[in-house]
Structure 1
């Protein structure tokens, strides 16, 4: 009986080892990246408001290049080390989806870059659609604040998918 148990264990291990992929068979998964709709780069974002939400300046962002059948859309912000971002006051930014009564907050971020390392923020994940649009606004209803930066192919807001 012990012989049968030992033989089964050895045979099972051999079958598992032969089915396991070798390092040469493994490929790193790469995400696809969509960039914001624009006429060209850089896209200069400037989100601001005065105290009491007066003189509010929101900014919109649209991704209209998500292929049908894509999955795992993730709104991200990436900045290389030392990337210039101008901010003052309460510079926390809310991301909104939809308009009017159907508008809902989908994320919050403080745009910042580290002087020594790349910075990545994940705003939120969504079900992919061919067109995905958001509005960015200063998060406070009372404080003055502003944030501005240039969005390029190497820095700024992207939508990753198919990861």
Structure 2
């Protein structure tokens, strides 16, 4: 019996030792897609489009709603574990203005391909289900970096979303930020 126990422990320790010696997968080496294409669309001017551009995140409700169309393109084929995130970093002139919690932002999926120039009128029929809601930093939180996870998604080469103020019945105000190659809206994948 002592031989069997000793033999079993020797086998287990050998296998365990070899398992630890195997190279680890790069689980902590996420890839990121920053700087999505952005279009501003306005309920007040339903046939106008402002974009594409890559830097200004401006979502508000004042004289009608002003939503933001976000398109992440060129996500590598075979990517897995896509996450939509807002990687906030201070120092980009971000602000929240108005009343009624304008910092609460809804994110909707866009079904199908985007029109060449998205407008309020041609995006509304393509707007799909709510995929997430997030809180834009406010007050002293604007002085601290913050990573906001919005939702996990199935990876595709292009992912399109519509951002809108969440509480449209009581909000007059909005959020503003400037994205760059290391902060703002992003897709993380292969984590």
Structure 1 spans left out of the alignment, 5+ residues: none
User: Structure 2 CA distance, aligned partners of 1:56 and 1:19?
Assistant: 56
Alpha-carbon contact 2:92-2:178 (below 8 Å) kept: no
Partner of 2:9: 9
Cα 1:68–1:116 shift into 2, 3 Å = same
The 1:26–1:129 alpha-carbon spacing in structure 2 relative to 1, beyond 3 Å, is: closer
Q: Is the 8 A contact 1:71 1:128 kept in 2?
A: yes
Q: Which of residues 112, 134, 150 in structure 2 aligns to 1:109?
A: 134
How far, CA to CA, are the matches of 1:11 and 1:27 in structure 2?
25
> Structure 1: how far apart are the matches of 2:77 and 2:106?
27
TM-score, structure 2 length as denominator?
A: 0.72
Alignment deviations for residues 50-72 of structure 1 (CA, whole Å, 9 cap, x no partner): 3xxx5111111101111221111
Moved more, 104-113 or 120-129: 104-113
1:101-151 per-residue CA deviation (whole Å, 9 max, x = no partner) reads 762111111111736642100111110111111111100131223111111
Q: 1:56 aligns with which of 45, 61, 65?
A: 65
User: Is 1:161 aligned to 2:170, yes or no?
Assistant: no
Whole-angstrom distance in 2 between the partners of 1:13 and 1:150:
54
| Matches for 1:1-163 after TM superposition, within 5 Å | 1-21=1-21, 25-26=23-24, 28=26, 29-35=28-34, 36-37=36-37, 43-50=55-62, 54-81=63-90, 84-88=93-97, 89=99, 90-91=101-102, 92-98=104-110, 99-100=124-125, 103-112=128-137, 114=141, 117-143=144-170, 144-163=172-191
| Unaligned 5+ runs, structure 2 | 39-51, 111-123
Length-normalised TM-score, structure 1:
0.82
Question: Mean Cα displacement is larger for which, 129-138 or 101-110?
Answer: 101-110
Q: How many residues align?
A: 157
